[in-house]
Amino acid sequence: MKIGSIALDNNLILAPMAGITDRPFRQLCRKLGAGLALSEMVTSDMRLWNSRKSRTRLDHRGEQSPRAVQIAGAVPAMMAEAARVNVDNGAELIDINMGCPAKKVCNMLAGSALLRNEMLVAKILEAVVSAVPVPVTLKIRTGWDKDNRNALSVAVLAEQSGIQMLTVHGRTRACGFSGEAEHETVAAIKSRVKIPVIANGDINSPQKAAMVLQETAADGIMIGRAAQGNPWIFREVYYYLHTGRILAPPKSEEVAGVLLDHLDGLYQLYGEYTGIRVARKHVGWYCKDRPGAKLFRDAFNQANTVERQSRLIEQYFIQQKQHDLAA
């Protein structure tokens, strides 16, 4: 799959998720089969970039190509400048966020709120595309609410503006993440534009990925929440799409090793104090539905040193291996 001049290893993409898709998680998902991993959303207001959170989100050291940064904002000139600076800092692809339903984003008339103003959408897209020499992509929802679904007209605008790939989350802004995502809109868009179109929303298994690709003729899929605690989903989807068979889930030893590597990346990126706290939510996702998970999480969430967290993980997964052998 190609996005402008960039050739991807495959058509499986990790969705940008604030507070989740930091550099360690992006690198992990790429290692386990994602063809592209988008950064957490970065504000286009560069006055806010001096915060620790923004500096961390802008850190791409050691990250493999293509390095993709998602930006959000509502002022064309600011979006263009943010794109330029990110490219100067190593971004090889710029993604524009017009899909985030969060109130704090929409209240700034950014994210999916922009879908209400197609004239402004066109100005932002044209400004960013003309500002940088790298491919620019766009992520949208199907519209503002069920009575205002305009994804098809926005898709045509995007292609005319020079956008190189369009991702469509199959919900409106008003839906948030409730209900079930629909992908009929993706199919309609795919029939109208020539740029790659990516389906996003509730793709949580290899079988669902195959079904969505078949029903929509989409060029690829984007996976978000289903990758939390399960970065293996990318290799499982890839395997199923190419063989028609279900890949066996990772053994406990592999899960433990990947988790420890993931946490080590968090400690290095954030420092011990913040890394320990960020690790807690990821460990909760990794261990969800495993035997004894609640007791383990309770103990893990009280651990205040890297050594204690690592030791608890090692002990827990020794028990998991024993449980697997006894099953």
Please report the sign of the dihedral spanned by the C-alpha atoms of residue 2, residue 7, residue 12, residue 13.
Answer: negative
Clarify whether residues 237 and 266 are in a common domain: no
Instruction: Find tokens 């199959």 and name the residue.
Output: 170
Question: Which pLDDT belongs to residue 179?
Answer: 84
Higher pLDDT: 109 or 269? It is: 269
Question: Which pLDDT belongs to residue 103?
Answer: 56
Written as one letter, the residue type at 82 is A
Within a 13 Å sphere around the CA of 117, how many CA atoms are in the beta-carbon half? 14
- CATH code for position 312: 1.10.1200.80
Clarify whether residues 160 and 179 are in a common domain: yes
CB 55 within 8 A of CB 23: no
Clarify whether residues 238 and 263 are in a common domain: no
Q: Is the peptide bond before 250 cis (omega within 30 degrees of 0)?
A: no
Clarify whether residues 184 and 211 are in a common domain: yes
Q: Which of 31-45, 56-70, 120-134 has the lowest mean pLDDT?
A: 56-70
Q: Which of 218, 243, 268 is the last residue of a domain?
A: 243
Q: Distance of alpha carbon 296 from its chain centroid, rounded?
A: 28
Q: Which of 243, 262, 283 is the last residue of a domain?
A: 243
Q: Which of 221, 243, 265 is the last residue of a domain?
A: 243
In angstroms, the CA 158 to CA 138 distance is 8
Domain count, the chain: 2
Catalytically annotated residues: 100
Stated length of the chain = 327
Written as one letter, the residue type at 204 is N
Question: Which pLDDT belongs to residue 107?
Answer: 47
| Residue 153 pLDDT exceeds 90 | yes
User: How many of the other CB atoms lie within 10 Å of CB of 1?
Assistant: 17
Which residues are within 8 A (CB) of 265 and not within 5 positions of it... i.e. 6 or more apart?
23, 24, 27, 28
pLDDT (average), residues 278-286: 97
In angstroms, the CA 167 to CA 208 distance is 17
In angstroms, the CA 3 to CA 9 distance is 11
| Residue 46 pLDDT exceeds 90 | no
Written as one letter, the residue type at 53 is K
Higher pLDDT: 216 or 146? It is: 216
Clarify whether residues 158 and 278 are in a common domain: no
User: Which string of DSSP letters, residue by residue, matches 207-218?
Assistant: HHHHHHHHHH--
Clarify whether residues 50 and 155 are in a common domain: yes
Question: Which pLDDT belongs to residue 213?
Answer: 98
In angstroms, the CA 128 to CA 121 distance is 11
Clarify whether residues 171 and 319 are in a common domain: no
CB 263 within 8 A of CB 307: no
Please give the sequence-ordered ranges of beta strands (E in DSSP) within the chain, or none if there are none.
2-3, 6-7, 12-14, 36-43, 68-72, 93-98, 136-141, 165-169, 197-200, 220-223
pLDDT (average), residues 51-65: 81
Which residues are within 8 A (CB) of 55 and not within 5 positions of it... i.e. 6 or more apart?
49
Average pLDDT score over the chain: 92
Range of the domain at 99: 2-243
Clarify whether residues 104 and 177 are in a common domain: yes
pTM of this structure: 0.94
Clarify whether residues 312 and 183 are in a common domain: no
Clarify whether residues 57 and 168 are in a common domain: yes
Clarify whether residues 164 and 288 are in a common domain: no
Question: Which pLDDT belongs to residue 106?
Answer: 45
Which residues are within 8 A (CB) of 108 and not within 5 positions of it... i.e. 6 or more apart?
73, 74
Clarify whether residues 75 and 204 are in a common domain: yes
